[in-house]
């Protein structure tokens, strides 16, 4: 099993049970506002459509969604939010990409750089690790909710590129096929755990011992930062070691 995918699953479940729902809301509100710069109509703005779906998945009130869209389109004053993608390396040389949304670029750059340094990593230049990832649609489904044959028939027919089992089903597609594949899965009555567009590593790097524990500390620290939207990495940790580290 891919340690990275397993870690993503653990983080997803922790987020779903997170009592600090306001923090989850803040991240999604930022994404809606940024997406709405491309237009406030979700029917013609795929990124906004995906962000609104994420908001509904965590039961965000409709008023919050509406206000976030209006901030993005400029109908409400909410301050300028900048997008920054950081690239670097964690302990053991695993590649890391960190997507941020901030109203203070200098502060965020300084704090993210400090987090990398403090946790045994180092921040790199733009493009230093991006070539190790591909932007993909990723739809996650619990393993017992659908058989492999049924999921393949539905997803591949809708345009998905790949289906893999990492203790859960992961349906990968090109970003422009995200809506079509997700709609086909939902129309079939299959519940989804997660549906997003992000950076998927092309290959994984095996980590053990101190490098493994250090990588998890760095990932956790980054994901706790208020300006961080997503963290992507290509680390791979043995399932048993990962389970021991995340108890």
pLDDT per position as a tens digit, 176-190: 999 999 999 999 999
What value does the mean pLDDT take over residues 164-168? Answer: 83
168 near 145, Cβ under 8 Å? no
Are 181 and 138 within 8 A, CB to CB? no
**160 and 197 assigned to the same domain:** yes
On the question of pLDDT at 14 being above 60, the answer is no
pLDDT range class, residue 2, cuts 50, 70, 90: very low
Q: Looking at 35, 50, 73, which one is the last position of a domain?
A: 73
> Do 140 and 195 belong together in one domain?
yes
8 and 48 share a domain?
yes
CATH of the domain at 123: 3.30.70.980
The structural domain count of the chain equals 3
pLDDT at 195: 87
Mean pLDDT over 140-160 rounds to: 93
Task: Kindly state the average pLDDT of the residues 120-136.
Answer: 94
112 and 149 inside one domain: no
Residue 94 near residue 233 (C-beta atoms within 8 A): yes
Please say whether the beta carbons of 24 and 229 come within 8 A. Answer: no
For residue 52, is pLDDT > 90?
Answer: yes
pLDDT-derived band at 207, boundaries 50, 70, 90: very high
Q: Which domain holds residue 164?
A: 132-201
Q: Burial-class residue 232 by CB neighbours within 10 Å (0-12, 13-18, 19+).
A: buried
């Amino acid at each position: 099993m891919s340690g990275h995918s397993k870690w993503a699953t653990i983080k997803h479940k922790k987020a779903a049970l997170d009592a600090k729902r306001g923090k989850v809301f803040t991240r999604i509100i930022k994404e809606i506002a940024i997406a709405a710069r491309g237009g406030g109509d979700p029917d013609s703005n795929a990124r906004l459509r995906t962000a609104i779906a994420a908001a509904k998945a965590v039961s965000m009130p409709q008023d919050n969604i509406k206000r976030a869209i209006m901030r993005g389109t400029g109908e409400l004053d909410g301050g300028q939010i900048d997008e920054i993608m950081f690239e670097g390396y964690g302990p053991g040389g695993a590649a890391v990409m960190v997507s941020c949304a901030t109203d203070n670029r200098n502060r965020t750059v300084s704090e993210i750089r400090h987090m990398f340094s403090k946790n045994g990593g180092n921040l790199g230049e733009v493009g230093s690790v991006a070539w190790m990832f591909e932007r993909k649609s990723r739809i996650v489904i619990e393993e017992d909710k659908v058989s492999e044959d049924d999921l393949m028939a539905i997803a591949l027919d809708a345009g998905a590129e790949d289906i893999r089992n990492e203790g859960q089903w992961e349906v990968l597609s090109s970003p422009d096929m995200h809506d079509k594949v997700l709609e086909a899965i939902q129309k079939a009555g299959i519940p989804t755990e997660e549906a997003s567009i992000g950076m998927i590593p092309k290959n994984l790097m095996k980590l053990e011992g101190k490098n493994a524990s250090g990588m998890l500390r760095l990932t956790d620290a980054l994901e706790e930062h208020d300006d961080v939207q997503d963290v992507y990495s290509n680390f791979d940790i043995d399932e048993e070691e990962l389970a021991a580290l995340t108890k």
